[in-house]
Each structure stands twice: as structure tokens, then as C-alpha cells.
Structure 1
Amino acid sequence: MTLAELESRFGDPWDPANPLGNHAVLAADERSEMFGDGERMLDDFGLNAEFVPVARGGRMTGLDRLIRVMRAVFRRDPCLGLGYGASSFIASVNVWAGGDGAQQRRLSELLLGGERVASVYHELDHGNDFARVDFRADPGRPGELLLTGRKEVITNARRCSAMVVFSRTSDAPGGRSHTQLFVEKAALPDGALRYLPRFPSSGMRGVQLGGIELDRCPVDAGVAIGPVGSAMETALRSFQLTRTGLPAMVLGVLDTGLRAALRFGDDRRLRGRAIGTMPVVRTVLAESFLDLLIADCLATTVARAVHLLPEDTNAYASAVKYMVSGRAARAMARLGELLGAQSYLRTGEYGIFQKLQRDLAPAGFGHAARVACLSTVLPQLPRLARRSWASAQEPPPGLYDLAAGLPPLPFDRLRIASAEDPLAAQLLGAAAALPAGSAVLRDLVRTFTGALDEMRAEAIALRPADLAIGGDPRALDLAARYAVALSASTCLNLWLAEQRRPGTFLADPVWVTAALTRLAGELDGVHRSLPPALAAPIYAELAGRYATGRAFDLSNGMLPDSPRSRN
């Protein structure tokens, strides 16, 4: 099964006669239901096989490929993306990262059989603070655990066949007090599992959010994923896939948002001309397109780094979650301003926009808030600054070559903290490797290398109290600027790698100059609109892709939807 086949099965979303198009998606959303016809198509496509490594009989060859496949789902219906697919992905990576052979074989059987697996982490009393989770797994009879407690806000609590449950197994303080459990519902005694009422939500209305409650429910002690007390370590390793993967998948929402804005710009006229011809509108569209490309550069690079630099991706994954989800939300908000009243109408040709914007907020929030991701990055910065921010590095082969194959995901090599920071060092390497050309681009690159040098001094000077929860909030600003610098490094290095394919858009210095211009404003908090010399060619690329039915992300792939299909 290929991505092109998945897109073909979805068909043209703008065709009102398409049973899998926007009209049908909106109807399901109005009923607060999962999109049934879409789920049946994904059953037939075998989407779950994308979450199973090839070695276990699935189609998971690379995190970057999985992102592209799931992006196609999210751009049609984020409820399908999360409720059908990503929720099982979030749960399953914990088993791939920490489970034994028998657990991995059983998980493969369930997923390849079309079943759902739920990630059962959250308790409303503790939010993202998993170290305070109260749900218990206490010793019972020999070889038995007794499960007691409640979990809330679980995706597919009722619809899943198995659960990955984050449970307390010790009252001792510290990071060794919890264990993850791989629990199949069919193995529980009749009546032991009680469901809590479904949570209604304004976004992701079709996703089934509920909870469970158990009281001294016996399960086999063999359900433990890894050694007792290893839950936090397994979670921190698996987060490197989910914090990278989920925000990158959700960029499909921005693709559709851009298409809606372009269609609207063609349709609506002001003083006798289409509003899409106005320079201010084209600048907003160009900048939103550029936001998608910047986000995709960071996310795709980190997705490939999980394969090639697995010891170093912990901080990168949290940077992706912070940067990509925030950038997508801001871009959609700006596009909503262009659509005006059409951006909140729930019916009609543009009704899909308000659904996507509502769905984007919880999809971007996911299982960790953006500020929590900065708090994960911050304590690592002093060590990374000392080790990596003063010496240039060249990228490993294939990191920025989007067509190059990747080795299997090395779950066993993922670490709970980054060892080195090659992406930041590659910014310095790229600066040294710049070909002769634009003085503007060289000045922008010097801006970022200078900023990295300043951040290095700041990071090394941080006090232990600054790195802890409740420390100086200005320290989090350093983590945010660091994420901006990582984005600049990935854009610049991808552009350099594309020089082997001259004549392509990604090999053109215009887009990388525009990207670094936009990112430079984020270093000092000053929004810089693209000058016409940059906005015009960026818009021209966007308009060309739109007219020919091509994706707006780095892939530039063919899509079944086209502006020519409008009524």
C-alpha cells in the first residue's frame, strides 16, 4: 500500500458527491461521531500496519514515511487521524521501546487484525505530571497484580482492545515508582472494568474521549512492560517518536487550511477583483506556506535523526512539539482572518476550515503541553552547549536527503536525554559551507551563528535553580530561542543538500532566505513581513502547486484534489 493509493481512496475532498469528502466529514462532526465511512476505508487500506515495524509483519519502514501517510489522513479529518490512527501509534511505541518479544508479537497481531490500542496515561488531578500518577498496580497472589484507580480523557477508552496503562508500583519518591502495563480487555474478569462518561469536546468532537475505573482487578504480572519501575524511562524514550510524529502529522491541517484560503481568494471579489490578487493577501498566504515548510524541515529532519542519531534526539523531539504545533496554530489563525466570517461557519464550502481549526488545538496539545516540552529541553542545554555549540559538524549521510533510505527504527538506542547536539553543530558547519552568492543570506546565517554563540554563554551560566520547575521563566525563553535556531539549521542544511538537484524549488536560495528572515524575527520577538522580492516567488510556488494539485509540504507530491473540481 502506498501514500498515492491512500490519497486516491480518499478522493477529492472538495467534491460534494464524494462520500469521503469534506461534506461527509462535516456531517459526522455535527453528530459528534467518528467518520464511519472513513474508518471503513482505512480498515480496507490496513492503516494499522503503518504502526507495526516491518520485522513484526507491518509497514513501518521509517518515521518520516509514517508521518507522510498520517498527514494525508489529518488533512482530511483530524478525528480520523487521532481517533483511528495516532492514538494506537502513541500507545504502541511504548511496547516497541520496552516490551518483550511476546508482548510485541501480541501487539502486532492486534494491530494487524484491525484492533485499537489506547494510551492510558492521564489523570485529571495530575495533568502532565506522570510522576504523581495514583493509579496503582499492587502485588496480589503470586504472579498477579491488582489494578486500582481511575484514568480520564482516554482516546478510544471503550473502543480499544488493549491498553498501555501508566501505573504506580511503588510509594517511594523518584523516577522508579511506576510501571507501564500492556493489558488486554479480554483478559479482565467480567464486570471489573467500569467506563466513565464520555467527555464532550469543542475540538476533535468525533474522537471518543472517556475514562476507566478499576478496583483491585487481578491481571497477570507478565503484563508489565519492561522491568518494574521502568515506566518513566520507557515513556521518555517513546516520546521521541510521538512528540516528533504527531505534530508533523497534524501539518496536514495547515495544508487544507491553505487550500481553503486559496479557493476563497479566487471566489471572493472586492471592488471588482478577486481578493487573492491583492498583495497583502498574497503575503499572508506566502508566509503561511513558508510556515508549513519551516515546520516540515524541522519535523522531517528530526524524524530522520531518530533513525540516524537516536542517542541525540530527546531534546529535538520536544523542540518539534513546541515549534511545529505552535507554528501551525498561528498560521491557521492568520488564514482564518483572511476568510473572515467563512472561517467560523459550520456549513458550506468552507465549513471544513472551522472544524480543522477547532481540531488543531487538541491535536497540537496532545499528551504534553508546549511549555512542558520546553521544560524538557531546558535542563539539557548547559550540557549540549558545552559539548556541541562551538564546533562545526557535517550531517551524516542521508539526514537531509529526503529520498535516501533509512535503517530500521533503533528503539533500543533511544536515550532519556540527548548525548550531543549535532543539529546545532551542523548550523555552524552549514555556515562554513555556504556557496558564493547572496549577501542577504550570508548576513542571516551570521545572525543565527551569532545567536547560537550568545545562547551558549547564557546556557553555561544557568544556575541549577533556573533549570527546575518554578525557576526563572526567562530561562524558558532560552529554550524557545534554541528551538528557533534548530529550525534555522534544518532549513539551511536541507537547502544545501538540495544543491545536488539544481532547478528545484528547494534548491532555490529564495525560500531559505525567506525562511531565515521569518525565523530571525522570532529570535527577538519582532514579526518581520516578507519583503515583496521574497513574498512574490514564494506565493508563485504556492499558487503553482495549488493549480496543479500538489502537496504544500516538502514532498510536493500529487494529490487528487484540484481547484478545477469546484462547483
Structure 2
Amino acid sequence: MPTDLPATAASGMPATAAPALSAPALPAFAAAEELERALGCPFDPDTGMSLARGLHADETETEPVDAYRAAWAAGLHEHLVPVSEGGRLASFETLTAVVRAASRRDLAVPVGLGSTFLAATPVWIWGDDEQRRRVAELVLGRAWGTAGISEEAAGSDLLATATRAAPVDGGFLLNGRKWLVGNGRRSSFATVLAASDPSFGLFLLDFDALDFDALGSDALGSDSLGSGGVRRLPKVRTHGLRGHDLSGFTLDDCPVGPDAVLGRPGRGIEMVSGMLQYTRTLVGGMGLGAADTALRIALRHARERVLYGEPALELAPVRALLARGFADLLVAECTALSAARALDVARQRMPLWSAVAKYLVPGLCLDSIGACGEVLSARAYLREGVAGGAFQKLSRDAAITPVFEGTELVQLDTIRAQLLSRARRSGGSPALPLPLLFGFGDPVPPLAPREQRPSLTYGGTDEVLDLLDEAVAALADDPELASMARTLLMVRDETRETFRTLSEVRGADAYEAARRHCLVHAGACCLHTWLQRRTALGGLAADRAWLSVALRRVLARLGLPVGPDRESEHRLVHRLQQLDDDDRAFSLVPLRLAPQYRGPERTT
């Protein structure tokens, strides 16, 4: 076991200077480090994306204009456009890291840009040359996009979509109301799901170019609206993300030409299901960034707050909470990174893995933030004081991450359906090697969205769980870790048997089995990360302590708690301190952050 950690009174280890924490960042994460340098420390009130400026916008319920300007100046929007279309999107592993860096500061910014990405994704995949050119021009020009999918009455039931695209001479007339969509008021373009002939379709609306004369007055009728038949709806007031434009728009005989149709007619539901695989995965980066800042606030408070004559960090319950919060973040990270990498190298698995990641990662990050709130105690609710009162805003903002792109129940239903389909058929697609799937930071083939279109089923092969047996065998020299891994293996087999014998495909047992599948998936991701990448990543990733505590957190959620590993918890807190002092992300990945601000705003 490594012993390269500094001492504190709680550890009982001798005081020694700590060596370098880890190797330099891998190329896949270089863009995130570049963004960190450009944006500066979020605790510095003078930076455009500072916590303080975000708080001010939140208090006044106004758009965080300074944060958007800083993000644009740093080129964050360029990562939404593939390299083939003139942007910087080369891999989803890189994009997730970039989203994570932005989310350390103000979630309103990556959420707004995420809505743009959701609108643009089907264009990158199914759009023709002119559609891709125009949307790339808009996004690179700092325009907002909106995905016109959600409707008040339909909820997550896409088949209940009421918006209609009626064919007329020269194109279509769109009628309907899209509500609770990001960037609804400020968007320059939209992708709209509408019922059409022969079935549902996706339509690209360039709001700036809409012109009633395009279809002629006879097609429009005398009662048509001006301004292209589009009415913007008021911004919806929300508990968190108060600076985000969550609103909608109404289409009243909105005319579009045949060139507005995306992809093959009648494939709208299929395309929406496919594009959500991307954004569901990227939500994980938002949760990881928010949890990083929450941990940083709680750790610094615990180091500086004096209770009973000593720093609060020396109190055993405080250290246990920080270790628990850090371990939850690392479980979430292993799950999120493997899903993001799979978008690059194993897109055929994403009908299952994207739903698993969306179900798991936001919830784990919220649990991490919750542990930090316990450390802060009453100060977690204050709109002043510790970190200028940023924690309460962060908690409110992050609370939405399990909801958008499909709620937890929606994800469990998707997972249930995928696993039930597998249980009822034999065979599967050829397995992919674990070094490819978990080679975080290793180069990937050039991104080619049009050549790697998403599928609706994952093919029946799930390497993360299928190869769990090999992970157990590889841990033979560590009986404690091997025992926890065998427990995960037992739950995997029990869950698969449940799906083979289900009497009610939508009964409570099916959803509980889907939930347990997700937790085994998370534990397996931790094991594969440890076995495949600890040497390459070094530092924290090579310290057994993180895996010991992480597996215990997973087993506890399965109702199979094992005794605590206090020594590993102490080591995790030491690592947390090291990473903060060395301006590193709270991550297994060696990612350097913007230099730490050490001015008065840090005081508690």
C-alpha cells in the first residue's frame, strides 16, 4: 500500500513531504485544462464565471451574462461542433471533461450550451450538407439552439406528442406548443419533433430565416401570425438554475420547406431516442463538476473551522462524511468516464449504458453534495458566509440533473426493457476488449457522427458486467477486494435470473432488478478502472484506498453493507487535501485546475 501521504493528527502517520500527485494530464483531457486556465479559479470573484457572479445572477433571476461571455471567449461553444464541421469536438471523452470543468463554476452555462448541443446533435448525425453547415455556422457564431421535444401534456411519452406537421404545397405547416425546453426564448434554431406523414418526424427550424412568403399566402391563410408563426413563451420560474432560459414556444401555422426535414421521414422517435444517448451521458459531467466544487467548499471549511479547540477536519464524523462524499464522486466518475468513452468506441452499447449512466451518475453526485452539506451544517443553507453562500445555489442547481434528459424512472424503464430483451434471446454481438473500453485518455478514432449512428438496442453484449468474472479472478492476491467483487458477481447473476423469470414485465420486481443492475454496473466500472488504468493514471488512481471505500458505498446501496475501512477513509481525506493544495481536480484523472484563488473570499 502506498505511503506517500502527508500526516495529520488523525492519521497517526509520520510527517513527510508528499511527492508529485500524478502524471501530467493525458491528451484527451488537455482541452479541459486549457479551459480551466482560460476561465480562472471559480472562487476568484473577478473572473467571468466566478461563483460570486453566478450568485448575483441567481439572486436577481437574470441570465449570467458575464459567465456566458467568459465561456464564449474561452471557446466552450466550439466543443459542441465536430471537427469535421469546423469545431473542436473530437471525442466525447474530451467533451465530458470540458463540461465538467465548466460545471465547477455555474451550471447554468453548461446546461444552456447542453440544450444547444441536444438541438444540434441530430443535425450532425442525420442532417444533409447544408443543414450541417448552417447549424455549425450558428453555433460557432454563439447562437443558441433548442430541442423542441417536450410538451406539457406528453411528458416523457414521445408518442403522445401533439405537435403536427401538415404537408402543403412547398413544404409543411407546423402547429403545436413546446414547453419546458432549454433556450426556448433566446434560440436561433430548433429541432422539433412533430407528428407527420408517415409517422413522427424531426424538423430543423432556422428561426432567423423563417419567412411566410416561402410558402405563399394561399397556403398560410388569412389568420396566420407574423414573424414566421412562432410565439415565444415566458420563462418558467424555477427553484434552481434561475439564470437558465427554461421556457418554450408555440408554432401557429409555422411554414417550413422540405429542406427542414431531418433524416428519413417518419424516423423522428428513433432519432430522438438516439440523440438522447449523447446528452444523457454528458449530464454526468455536469454532476461531477458540481460535486467537485461542493467537496472543495466543504473541505476548506472543515480545515479552517475550529471546533472544540481544533480544526473540524480532525473530528472523525467530519472525516467520514468527506471520505463518503469523495468515494461517491469517484464511483460516479468511473461510470461517467466509461460511458463517455463508449460514445467514441462502443456506440452500439449506448442504448443500455447511457441510461445506466444517466440513472446513476447524477444521483451519486447529489449524494456527494449531500454529504458536503452535512459537513457545512447550518452554513449549507445560508446565502452568505462560506464561499459567499455559493453552496445553497449549487445544491439547488444540481438537483435538476437527475430529472432532465429523462427522470430516474424513465431511465429504469429503458434499462428494464433492454435487459428483458436480452433475457429473452440467445447470443450477442462480439465482445470488445476492456483496455479499449476503459482506456481513459488513450486516443480514439476520429469522431464521425454520420458513420456511427446510434442504435435502439445494445446487441445483448454487456462487457462491463459480462467480464466481471475476469475482474474477480484478477484480484486473487487481495482477498478483501476479491470478496467484495464476488458479492457484486452474485448480485449480477441474481439480477439476470430475475429478468429470465419475470411474471410482470413492468412490475415492481422488474424496476428493482434494473436498479440493482445499475449498482452492479457502477461497482464493475470501479473494478475495471482499477485493473485497467491505475498504472497509467497514477496518483490517487493507484491508491487502493479509493477502491475499498467505493466498493463499500456500492454494496451499501445494494443493502449489503460491509464493515467500514477507516484507514482507507483517512487516506481518501488525505488525498482530498493533497489534490486541493496542488490545484488538481477531485478525480482519478490527473487534471490540473486553474491556480487557486487565495484572497478573502476563501475565508469562512
Alignment map for 1:62-77 (pairs within 5 Å)? 62-77=91-106
- SS of the equivalent of 2:436 reads coil
TM-score by length of 1: 0.93
Q: Aligned-residue CA RMSD in angstroms?
A: 2.2
Relative to structure 1, the CA distance from residue 500 to residue 18 in structure 2 (aligned partners, 3 Å threshold; closer, same or farther) is: closer
- SS of the equivalent of 2:252 reads strand
- SS of the equivalent of 1:546 reads helix
Relative to structure 1, the CA distance from residue 96 to residue 20 in structure 2 (aligned partners, 3 Å threshold; closer, same or farther) is: closer
What percentage of residue pairs aligned between the two structures are identical? Answer: 33
How many residue pairs end up in the alignment?
A: 553
Does residue 53 (structure 1) correspond to residue 82 (structure 2)? The answer is yes
Aligned-residue offset at 1:3: 2.3
Q: Which residue of 1 aligns with 2:473?
A: 432
> CA offsets, 1:93-120, max 9 Å, x none?
1222222222112211111122111111
Does residue 559 (structure 1) correspond to residue 581 (structure 2)? The answer is no
Aligned-residue offset at 1:388: 8.8
Q: Which residue of 2 aligns with 1:508?
A: 543
Aligned match for 2:203, one of 171, 181, 204: 181
> CA offsets, 1:224-247, max 9 Å, x none?
111121011111111211111112
- SS of the equivalent of 1:364 reads coil
Q: d(CA) in 1 for partners of 2:407 and 2:413?
A: 10
Aligned-residue offset at 1:15: 2.7
> CA offsets, 1:152-180, max 9 Å, x none?
1121112111001111115xxxxx73111
Q: Which has the higher contact order (CA 8 A, sep 6+)?
A: 2
Does residue 297 (structure 1) correspond to residue 334 (structure 2)? The answer is yes
- SS of the equivalent of 1:160 reads coil
Q: Which residue of 1 aligns with 2:569?
A: 535
Aligned-residue offset at 1:498: 2.5
Q: Which residue of 2 aligns with 1:222?
A: 259
Q: Which residue of 1 aligns with 2:532?
A: 497
Cα pair 2:230 2:250 within 8 Å, conserved: yes
Q: d(CA) in 1 for partners of 2:537 and 2:284?
A: 30
Relative to structure 1, the CA distance from residue 562 to residue 277 in structure 2 (aligned partners, 3 Å threshold; closer, same or farther) is: farther
> CA offsets, 1:468-490, max 9 Å, x none?
xxx31221010011011111111
Q: d(CA) in 1 for partners of 2:407 and 2:426?
A: 27
Q: d(CA) in 2 for partners of 1:389 and 1:459?
A: 16
Relative to structure 1, the CA distance from residue 449 to residue 386 in structure 2 (aligned partners, 3 Å threshold; closer, same or farther) is: farther
Q: Which residue of 2 aligns with 1:307?
A: 344
| 5+ long unaligned stretches in structure 2 | 1-29, 212-225
Q: Which residue of 2 aligns with 1:173?
A: none
Relative to structure 1, the CA distance from residue 131 to residue 529 in structure 2 (aligned partners, 3 Å threshold; closer, same or farther) is: farther
Cα pair 1:60 1:66 within 8 Å, conserved: yes
Does residue 137 (structure 1) correspond to residue 165 (structure 2)? The answer is yes
Alignment map for 1:128-277 (pairs within 5 Å)? 128-141=156-169, 143-170=170-197, 177-189=199-211, 190-191=226-227, 192-277=229-314
- SS of the equivalent of 1:157 reads coil
Relative to structure 1, the CA distance from residue 186 to residue 536 in structure 2 (aligned partners, 3 Å threshold; closer, same or farther) is: same
Q: d(CA) in 2 for partners of 1:560 and 1:529?
A: 38
Q: Which amino acid aligns with 1:366?
A: F
Q: Which residue of 2 aligns with 1:547?
A: 581
Relative to structure 1, the CA distance from residue 388 to residue 17 in structure 2 (aligned partners, 3 Å threshold; closer, same or farther) is: farther
Cα pair 2:276 2:405 within 8 Å, conserved: no
Q: d(CA) in 1 for partners of 2:483 and 2:75?
A: 49
TM-score by length of 2: 0.87
> CA offsets, 1:261-312, max 9 Å, x none?
0111122222111111111111110111111111110111111112222112
Aligned match for 1:338, one of 375, 390, 398: 375
Aligned-residue offset at 1:151: 1.0
Q: d(CA) in 2 for partners of 1:275 and 1:69?
A: 33
Q: Which residue of 2 aligns with 1:366?
A: 404
Which 10-residue stretch deviates more, 358-367 or 129-138? 358-367
Relative to structure 1, the CA distance from residue 537 to residue 475 in structure 2 (aligned partners, 3 Å threshold; closer, same or farther) is: same
- SS of the equivalent of 1:2 reads helix
Q: d(CA) in 2 for partners of 1:102 and 1:528?
A: 58
Q: Which residue of 2 aligns with 1:35?
A: 64
- SS of the equivalent of 2:187 reads coil
Cα pair 1:118 1:160 within 8 Å, conserved: yes
> CA offsets, 1:486-528, max 9 Å, x none?
111111111111354496321233222221121112222x566
Alignment map for 1:508-527 (pairs within 5 Å)? 508-524=543-559
Aligned match for 1:357, one of 381, 395, 405: 395
Q: Which amino acid aligns with 2:456?
A: I
Q: Which amino acid aligns with 2:54?
A: V
Q: d(CA) in 2 for partners of 1:228 and 1:182?
A: 13
Which 10-residue stretch deviates more, 263-272 or 393-402? 393-402
Q: Which residue of 1 aligns with 2:488?
A: 448
Alignment map for 1:78-97 (pairs within 5 Å)? 78-83=107-112, 85-97=113-125
Q: Which amino acid aligns with 2:236?
A: F
Aligned match for 2:499, one of 439, 455, 459: 459
Relative to structure 1, the CA distance from residue 439 to residue 397 in structure 2 (aligned partners, 3 Å threshold; closer, same or farther) is: closer
Relative to structure 1, the CA distance from residue 309 to residue 394 in structure 2 (aligned partners, 3 Å threshold; closer, same or farther) is: closer
> CA offsets, 1:240-262, max 9 Å, x none?
11111112333100000001101
